[in-house]
Chains A and B, each alone.
Chain A
C-alpha cells in the first residue's frame, strides 16, 4: 500500500478554512484516497473519498492534482468541534487486503 505523509499537527481558529495536505508519492493506479476523522476514545469516522480532481460533500472538499501524488483535505469555516486527528489513507478501490493508518494530523481549533 502507498505510504502517506502528513503534518503532525496544525493549529487554526474558529471560522477559518483549514487545508491538510497528504503526500502519497507511490500511489497506484487503482488506489483511492480516503480521509478519516478521529476524536479521542472513538473509532475513526469517514469524511470523504476521491480518486482524482475535486470531490465535495457537506463537510469537506478533497483536492487531488493530476499526478495524484498528494491530496488536500479542505475544511471550510472550522469550529471547535473540528478539533480531532485527521488521517489520510490510500488503498485500492476494491478488495482491501489490509488497511494501514499513518500518523495522522492533529488539528487544534481555538476560539
Chain B
C-alpha cells in the first residue's frame, strides 16, 4: 500500500520553543492531508484538514496560530507547534488521502514531549 512518512518520530523540546513535524506521501500525491493529536488511551482527535495550495481548515477549539499547517506541495505537509508548552505534549499523527480519495494512509506518528 501507499506509504506516508512522518518525521521526527520522537522529539523533546523546551517550553517556549517551536517544533516542526513533517508528513510526506512517498509514492503518491496527496491533495488532502489530516493532522491529529492523540492523548494516552484516547482516540485520535482531528486538529485540521490540510489541502495543497490553500489554507488549512481547523477544527473547533484548535488554535490556528499555535498549530501552523503548511501544505505547499502534493507530497508534503508540515505542522509547526509554536511556543510549545507542556500541555502540548502528545502523539501527533498525519494522514494523507490516496489518489482515489477512498483510503487514508497514516504516518507512524510523532511523540512530542515539552519540558
Knowing A98-B49, A101-B43, A103-B43 are in contact, say whether A45-B106 is a contact too (CB < 8 A).
yes
Known: A94-B101, A96-B32, A100-B46. Contact between A41 and B111, CB under 8 A?
yes
- CB-based nearest A residue for B91: A41
A45 and B2 CA atoms in complex are apart in Å by 11
Segment of B13-21, B65-73, B77-85, B92-100 in the binding face: B92-100
How far is it, in angstroms, between the C-alpha of A98 and the C-alpha of B91 when the chains are bound?
Answer: 19
User: Which residues of chain B (35-81) have a CB below 8 Å from chain A?
Assistant: 36, 43-46, 49, 57
With both beta carbons as reference points, the residue of chain B lying nearest to A101 in the complex is identified as B44
Number of A-B contacts (CB under 8 A): 61
Which residue on chain A has the smallest CB distance to residue B100?
A94
Size bracket, chain A contacts: 20 to 34
Chief secondary structure at chain A's binding surface: loop
B27 adjacent to chain A (CB < 8 Å): no
Binding site for A on B (CB under 8 A): 1, 4, 6, 32, 34, 36, 43-46, 49, 57, 91, 93-95, 97, 100-109, 111
- Indicate if the CB atoms of B46 and A49 lie closer than 8 Å: no
Q: Are B101 and A102 in contact (CB under 8 A)?
A: no
B contact face: mostly helix, strand, loop, or mixed: strand
29 A-B pairs (CB sep. < 8 Å): A34-B103, A34-B104, A41-B91, A41-B109, A43-B4, A43-B95, A43-B106, A44-B44, A44-B93, A44-B106, A45-B106, A46-B1, A46-B103, A46-B105, A49-B102, A87-B44, A93-B101, A94-B102, A96-B32, A96-B101, A96-B104, A97-B49, A98-B34, A98-B49, A99-B34, A99-B46, A99-B95, A100-B46, A104-B43
List residues of chain B with CB within 8 A of the CB of A43. 4, 6, 93-95, 106-109
Q: How far is the CB of B36 from chain A (nearest CB, A)?
A: 8
Complex Cα gap A57–B94 (Å): 25
Residues of A near B46 (CB, < 8 A) are: 98-101
